[in-house]
């Protein structure tokens, strides 16, 4: 699809490993936090449904966050996948506006730091 739409450029090839690394780090931290939360539960599937399913809904994977109502936009800010998807859309020029990539990167870093702190508190 990327080749067909013509969005594959030399800049994208350079940024693809960076985006992949951000996505891997984000998913590792998110998964680590979920596993720590699972230690306190007898039924991990309910917690998975409460935390992971809304992430796929509110992060903009199916419907862009820009079309959400204001309350859903606020909910989407707590999930790291929102920032990763915005960065991927920027890299592949699916998101035409160039502004906001630094804001998304900063939001992702803040979100990851908060999840690490929550994980450390729960482990102790």
- Domain count across the chain: 1
Whole-number Cα distances in Å, 86 to 6, 32, 72: 19, 23, 16
Pair of tokens at residue 75: 């909910």
Backbone phi, psi, residue 48, to 5°: -65, -40
**pLDDT under 50 in the chain at which residues?**
none
pLDDT confidence of residue 121: 95
- Domain enclosing residue 54, as ranges: 2-123
pLDDT confidence of residue 86: 87
pLDDT confidence of residue 71: 93
Q: What angle do CA 114, 23, 88 make, to 5 degrees?
A: 115
Reference 78, options 99, 48, 57; nearest CA is 57
- Angstrom distance (rounded) from CA 58 to CA 118: 21
């Amino acid at each position: 699809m990327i080749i067909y739409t013509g969005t594959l450029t030399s800049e994208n090839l350079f940024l693809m490993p960076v985006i992949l690394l951000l996505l891997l780090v984000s998913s590792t931290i998110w998964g680590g936090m979920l596993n720590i939360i699972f230690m306190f539960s007898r039924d991990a599937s309910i917690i998975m449904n409460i935390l992971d399913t809304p992430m796929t809904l509110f992060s903009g994977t199916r419907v862009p966050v820009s079309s959400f109502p204001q309350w859903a936009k606020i909910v989407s800010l707590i999930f790291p996948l929102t920032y990763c998807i915005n960065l991927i859309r920027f890299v592949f020029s699916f998101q035409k506006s160039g502004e906001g990539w630094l804001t998304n990167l900063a939001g992702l870093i803040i979100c990851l730091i908060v999840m690490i702190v929550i994980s450390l508190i729960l482990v102790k």
